[in-house]
């Protein structure tokens, strides 16, 4: 009986979404009236299944129903001011607040994207905080932007925050006068309503597109989906966020560093493996494409040592830093170690295209005073300060027409 109610509700609701409106339009109803009839489809399913369960006595035959719903509005009162209790629930409350906020932002961004709207995370946080204050003084549970409830509301045609007001008024009137009518409402019908609403947000093609674009992003997406299906939304979000942080640390721990050379006819420098460029065997130019911080600081040290060891003719190393937006203290110590090791080997270290905020921080350290080379505004200036003749000749050479994109 439960399967019949659930499957029947699913079939009816899917038909309402796809087939009811064309049928009503054929019957000469106005588009506005047809849209309204489609949106009240879940209400029709609820009323019909309540009547069926009541008339056929299915509650006594194993069909799970909502049962007695307490009547009346909640009483307004302060939560217990028990300091020991607060300390006991501090950590769980913190986790609940983080997961609740992440879940709320996730569903807000998903629904906003469907209408090309913008979400302000700060305002979302304020709204969730205000809602939780209201819940705290009325004996409610912690409040978040629930995925299933938000989707059902969106699917019903909600356009503005006024929908929340109407929902609150409707729930208030229901708890005061209509709760006895919900006694025989089968849980299967509620589940079918949520399933049909949420299915509109399921995009299986995103899995393939993510796999083709970035395997690490696909891994985070897949883990989030699997854990959510098995354990629920909160564990799924925690697993997805945790894995994303781990993958980010892993990727940034091995930043992309390219050996660059000068493109003939220009003052630009590009990857030697992608373009036809001119290089000087005594100059090793490395473009760092990631901010430098503790996970990748040692990697850069090892990489510079490896490149220098493989090129005995090198007398100058230039670190081109156009993509370096931050250098933390661990990375600064690594730069100092690189500078010292190169100095011991008779090699000068230079920096180029260092951003202003980074330079401001470096000027408060001893690194620039101990730097064996110089700091240059452009990579071209750095090379020209070492081998001006080659840099100038290359810049004036005929341009290569078949240079590939960056």
Q: What is the pTM of this model?
A: 0.59
Residue 137 CB-density burial (10 A; 0-12 exposed, 13-18 middle, 19+ buried): middle
pLDDT at 157 over 70: yes
Predicted pLDDT at 78: 85
Residue 287's pLDDT is: 95
pLDDT value at position 385?
Answer: 93
What's the pLDDT score for residue 349?
A: 95
Confidence of residue 403 (pLDDT cuts 50, 70, 90): very low
Confidence label for 338 from pLDDT (cuts 50, 70 and 90): very high
- Predicted confidence at residue 258, as pLDDT, reads 93
Q: How many CB atoms lie within 10 A of CB 297?
A: 21
Total Cβ atoms within 10 A of residue 225: 15
64 within 8 A of 2, measured Cβ to Cβ: yes
What values do phi and psi take at 399, rounded to 5? -70, 145
Sort 351 into a burial class: Cβ within 10 Å, 0-12 / 13-18 / 19+. Answer: buried
Short-list 324, 322, 326, 336, CA closest to 365:
336
Handedness of CA 72, 73, 76, 78 (dihedral sign): positive
Q: Which two tokens stand for residue 123?
A: 């305002």
Q: List CB contacts of 153: < 8 A, sequence separation 6 or more.
A: 163, 167
Q: How far is CA 222 from the centre of its chain?
A: 14
DSSP codes, 335-379: HHHHHHHHHHTT-EEEEES--HHHHHHHTTSSHHHH-SS-EESSH
Structure confidence by residue, pLDDT tens digits, 24-66: 888 888 888 887 788 888 889 999 999 999 999 888 888 999 8
Q: Read off the tokens for 217.
A: 């992003």
The chain-wide mean pLDDT, for the chain, equals: 87
Helices 233-253 and 215-231 pack at an angle, to 10 degrees, of 160
pLDDT class for 6, splitting at 50, 70, 90? very high
- Predicted local distance difference test score (pLDDT) of residue 397: 66
Helix intervals (H) in 115-214: 121-136, 147-155, 162-173, 187-199, 205-213
Q: What's the confidence (pLDDT) of residue 261? A: 93
Q: Which residue has the tokens 């996970």?
A: 295
Across the range 329-341, mean pLDDT stands at 93
Domain 257-396, CATH 1.10.20.10 — does that match?
no
Residue 205: is its pLDDT beyond 60? yes
- What percent of the chain lies above the pLDDT cut of 70? 97
Mean pLDDT for 376-397 is 89
Q: What number is the average pLDDT over the span 319-338?
A: 93
Q: Mean per-residue pLDDT for 130-147?
A: 85
Choice between 311 and 36, residue whose per-residue pLDDT is larger: 311
Query: Looking at residue 26, what is its pLDDT?
Result: 85
Task: Please determine, for residue 304, whether its predicted confidence score (pLDDT) is greater than 80.
Answer: yes
Q: Which residue has the higher pLDDT, 318 or 26?
A: 318
Q: Alpha helices, DSSP H only, in 254-355?
A: 294-310, 329-344
* pLDDT at residue 402 is higher than 60: no
Instruction: Give the per-residue pLDDT at 18.
Output: 84
**The pLDDT value given to residue 399:** 47
- pLDDT, tens digit, 9 for 90 and up, residues 224-269: 889 988 988 778 878 888 898 888 888 888 889 999 999 998 889 9
More confident residue, 401 or 339: 339
Q: How far is it, in rounded angstroms, from Cα 103 to Cα 170?
A: 25
Domain ranges of the chain: 1-67+183-202, 205-253, 257-396
């Amino acid at each position: 009986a439960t399967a019949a109610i659930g499957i029947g509700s699913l079939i009816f609701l899917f038909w309402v979404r796809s087939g009811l409106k064309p049928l009503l339009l054929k019957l000469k109803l106005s588009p506005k009236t047809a849209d309204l009839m489609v949106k009240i489809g879940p209400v029709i399913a609820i009323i019909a299944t309540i009547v069926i369960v009541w008339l056929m006595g299915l509650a006594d035959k194993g069909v799970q129903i909502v049962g007695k719903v307490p009547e009346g509005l909640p009483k307004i009162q302060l939560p217990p001011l028990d300091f020991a209790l607060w300390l006991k629930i501090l950590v769980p409350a913190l986790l609940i607040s983080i997961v609740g906020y992440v879940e709320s932002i996730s569903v807000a961004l998903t629904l906003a994207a469907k209408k090309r709207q913008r979400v302000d995370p700060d305002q979302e946080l304020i709204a969730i905080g205000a809602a939780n204050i209201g819940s705290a003084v009325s004996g409610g549970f912690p409040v978040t932007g629930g995925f299933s409830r938000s989707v059902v509301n969106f699917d019903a045609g909600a356009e503005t925050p006024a929908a929340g007001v109407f929902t609150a008024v409707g729930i208030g009137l229901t708890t005061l006068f209509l709760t006895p009518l919900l006694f025989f409402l089968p849980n299967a019908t509620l589940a079918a309503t949520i399933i049909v609403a949420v299915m509109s947000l399921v995009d299986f093609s995103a899995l393939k597109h993510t796999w083709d674009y970035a395997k690490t992003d696909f891994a985070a997406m897949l883990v989030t989906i699997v854990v959510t299906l098995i354990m629920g939304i909160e564990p799924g979000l925690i697993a997805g966020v945790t894995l994303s942080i781990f993958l980010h640390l892993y990727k940034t721990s091995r930043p992309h560093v390219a050996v660059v050379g000068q493109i003939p006819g220009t003052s630009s420098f590009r990857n030697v493996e992608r373009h036809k460029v001119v290089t000087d065997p005594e100059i090793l130019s490395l473009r760092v494409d990631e901010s430098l911080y503790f996970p990748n600081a040692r990697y850069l040290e090892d990489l510079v040592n490896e490149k220098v060891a493989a090129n005995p003719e090198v007398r100058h190393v230039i670190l081109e830093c156009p993509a370096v937006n931050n250098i933390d203290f661990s990375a600064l110590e690594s730069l100092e170690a690189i500078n010292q090791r190169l100095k011991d080997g008779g090699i000068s270290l230079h920096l180029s295209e260092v951003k202003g905020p980074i330079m401001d921080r470096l000027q408060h350290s001893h690194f620039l005073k101990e730097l064996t080379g110089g700091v240059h505004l452009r990579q071209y200036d750095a090379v020209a300060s070492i081998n001006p003749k080659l840099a100038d000749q290359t810049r004036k050479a005929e341009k290569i027409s078949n240079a590939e994109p960056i």
